[in-house]
Structure 1
Amino acid sequence: MTDIRDTVRDEFLRRFGHRPSGLWSAPGRVNLIGEHTDYNDGYAFPFAIDRRTVLALRQRDDRVLRVASSFAPDAVEIAIDELSPERLNGWSAYPLGVAWALGQLGASLSSVPGADVYIDSEVPIGAGLSSSAAIESAVAVALDEVWRLDLDRRTLAEVGQLAENRAVGAPTGIMDQSASLLGRTDAGVFLDCRSLAAEVIPLGFDAAGLQTLIVDTTVSHSHATGGYAARRASCEAGARALGVPALRDVHLGDLERARAVLDDETFRRVRHVVTENQRVLDTVRTLREHGPAAIGGLLDASHVSMRDDFEISSPELDLAVETARENGAIGARMTGGGFGGAVIALVPRDLVPAVRAAIEAAFSAAGFAVPEQFTVRAAQGATRER
């Protein structure tokens, strides 16, 4: 099987006519638990996965950025001095948006050189595994190094979020970029999305004989479309009505008052966020005290909340969760922004083939497209490659 790094080197040479000076990569992420909590200043617990976006880069003698990728036939070119969200569109808004955002968050770009960049990825697009943050994080660490900006990982996560919010137009939080930049092997990133404090928590899945099965329903989603933005707007409206800065400041004991103040739909959106924050805290505590085999019920409860209160699931996601649980998974939930995408199921290693076969059979019987299924491990965050 061809190594993606070799492919990226070869394609860079073909596209630009010279060899790159270096390769950088960043992983996608799967969110173990804590969905739609990040933009509410809450808690999340993602981990980086062993599927990566890889880029090759070589500096130029002028101040032009030229980006190409496996996603599009043609390169996109723009002068650094002309970077602005209004000038960016399509797939290139992700990498070029990062270059723009670096200048917005304290880096001086007045004398940095241009660059040729080529990008390819193993992270499925539209599956809820944050292919966008993998691009943003790879570009951020590459430009930080070659432009000698010396920014810390927390700032680079903010750069990626700003690029996604402003250049791409997707109102996402900071969880995805944080996981991609801060991930560690066999560990999750327990993230406080208000302070941006992050703690690496050992997962211990391998030692417990568990594997993380991803079921990509192949129903594509996009954070830049209306469903995600509507959920965020509803959360912000709920916080305003309750007189708090963000839903992070609403606790389980406040839900009865919230029910009296809010309309039913907004209340259910709020209830999901409040209970999901608690589930993140309970998951971290349970991992520490009892190990990974004890967290299945929390994953299941998270899916029910997303299905019923936040209403971001789909028939395909629900079927994958139900089938995984019925065939031996200790817990399963949809992961990502919703409206399609993927399911994460925590499965005893020897039951993975049976769970996969049952899900494929269930999808076929329901008339759904064949899902893409694969296992992932918690992996290292963004880095320079060999």
Structure 2
Amino acid sequence: MADVWVAPGRINLIGEHTDYNDGFVLPIALPHAVRITAARRDDGVLRVRSRQALGVTEVPVADLAPGVVTGWAAYVAGVVWVLREAGYDVGGFDLLVDGNVPLGAGLSSSAALECATALAVAELSGLDVDRFALARLAQRAENDFVGMPCGIMDQSASLLAREGHALLLDTRTLDTAHIPFDLTSHGLRLLVVDTRAPHRLVDGEYAARRAACHKAAEVLGVPALRDVDEVPEGLPEDLLRRVRHVVTENRRVLEVAELLRAGQLRAIGPLLTASHLSLRDDYEVTVPELDVAVEALLDAGALGARMTGGGFGGCVIALVDADNAAGCEEAVQRAFADNDFTAPEFFTATASAGARAER
């Protein structure tokens, strides 16, 4: 009999492009999730299907290597490959994928797919692998098998998050803290605007930002930009801007965490907006749809707004009064129509549970 494993997508409340710099992030898991129905096979073959895509991917697990499987199935195959590369005894599987994490929206549909696969394969194979290790393995699958140089945040959020809490993660040590995040009791909502601008990260821009950060750390003589407390002088202008974003973003993450702990949820709004401005001006990862959405939300009375995810498309989040959510949505719709953008989509983000088995 096949069982089902579920792993959620995520919204990053704040802490963008800090995870691959050994910094701090503060995501929540979404109710949107990937579901994998899985069963073992005794012939050493990995067979993968999706309810959202045509076709079947079928390959012997012994033949798995980067480049052998492409497209969405590479995220599944990469997890099986990385577990075998790590020395675990992993054989063949039938995997049926289903899910409702919006694709290309920066909500970590890929990490959700990896984490659901990792839980299913590990449990069905009888492996003793904790969730921190699974997150690292899933990250490696995306880095080395798929070719996307992501940090550890997305996989950690999917595997470690708790319902009703934001996850404060130190991406260097993997120390975590679960911070209560109940907007409803404060009359607030976290509005998500899917701008529907194409969200593409494997085209070199994400990798270029990561390379610039590593170069800056090398020039500054530190292991990672996490170790830089003040914005330095003397760097080339392009590197200076990248460093300034990472340094100030790490500060903002810790400030938001402290405000949440103190129950001062409304006070995090300006920090969200400051994060967006830094991502726009210093990190240069926004696109017109993201900037127009943020401006429209703030003009409509949002307490704070920012792009979320890697950038170059995807979603904007806004902290809004519950009774003003509809007005904020209408303002974005008008702004997008005025700019001839594709009509956006909206939903409210609630802090949901992490990955789990469902039987």
Alignment correspondent of 1:77: 58
1:70 Cα shift? 3.0
- CA offset digits 1:281-305 (Å, max 9, x no partner): 1111111124211100110100000
Instruction: Decide whether the 8 Å contact of 2:242 with 2:282 is kept in 1.
Output: yes
Q: Are 2:29 and 1:48 aligned?
A: yes
Counterpart of 1:243 (choices 221, 237, 262) is 221
Map of 1:88-167 to 2, 5 A cutoff? Answer: 88-105=69-86, 107-109=87-89, 112-167=90-145
Instruction: Decide whether the 8 Å contact of 1:172 with 1:223 is kept in 2.
Output: no
1:259 Cα shift? 2.5
Inter-partner Cα distance in structure 2 for 1:311 and 1:86: 30
Q: Return the letter of the residue paired with 2:341.
A: F
Inter-partner Cα distance in structure 2 for 1:56 and 1:291: 41
TM, length-normalised to structure 2? 0.98
Map of 1:176-215 to 2, 5 A cutoff? Answer: 176-215=154-193
Identity %: 51
- CA offset digits 1:305-362 (Å, max 9, x no partner): 0000000011110111111111121111000000111001111111111111111111
Counterpart of 1:33 (choices 14, 17, 28) is 14
Aligned partner of residue 87 in structure 1, secondary structure: coil
Instruction: Decide whether the 8 Å contact of 1:48 with 1:381 is kept in 2.
Output: yes
* Paired residue total: 359
Instruction: Decide whether the 8 Å contact of 1:26 with 1:382 is kept in 2.
Output: yes
Q: Are 2:147 and 1:169 aligned?
A: yes
Which stretches in structure 1 are left out of the alignment for 5+ residues?
1-19
Alignment correspondent of 2:39: 58
Map of 1:13-32 to 2, 5 A cutoff? Answer: 21-32=2-13
1:88 Cα shift? 2.4
Instruction: Decide whether the 8 Å contact of 1:186 with 1:205 is kept in 2.
Output: no
| Structure (1 or 2) with the greater helix fraction | 1
Inter-partner Cα distance in structure 1 for 2:308 and 2:157: 14
Instruction: Decide whether the 8 Å contact of 1:89 with 1:167 is kept in 2.
Output: no
Inter-partner Cα distance in structure 1 for 2:2 and 2:263: 47
Counterpart of 2:233 (choices 242, 251, 259) is 259
Inter-partner Cα distance in structure 2 for 1:369 and 1:154: 39
Aligned partner of residue 161 in structure 1, secondary structure: helix
Inter-partner Cα distance in structure 2 for 1:281 and 1:343: 21
Aligned partner of residue 86 in structure 1, secondary structure: coil
Q: Are 2:325 and 1:352 aligned?
A: yes
Q: Return the letter of the residue paired with 2:131.
A: R
Alignment correspondent of 1:378: 351
Q: Which moved more, 1:93-102 or 1:198-207?
A: 198-207
Q: Flag as ranges the 4+ runs of structure 1 deviating above 4 A.
A: none
Instruction: Decide whether the 8 Å contact of 2:200 with 2:313 is kept in 1.
Output: no
- CA offset digits 1:43-80 (Å, max 9, x no partner): 00011011011111121121111001134311111112
Inter-partner Cα distance in structure 2 for 1:156 and 1:291: 34
TM, length-normalised to structure 1? 0.91
Q: Which moved more, 1:233-242 or 1:205-214?
A: 205-214
Aligned partner of residue 148 in structure 1, secondary structure: coil
Q: Which moved more, 1:54-63 or 1:37-46?
A: 54-63
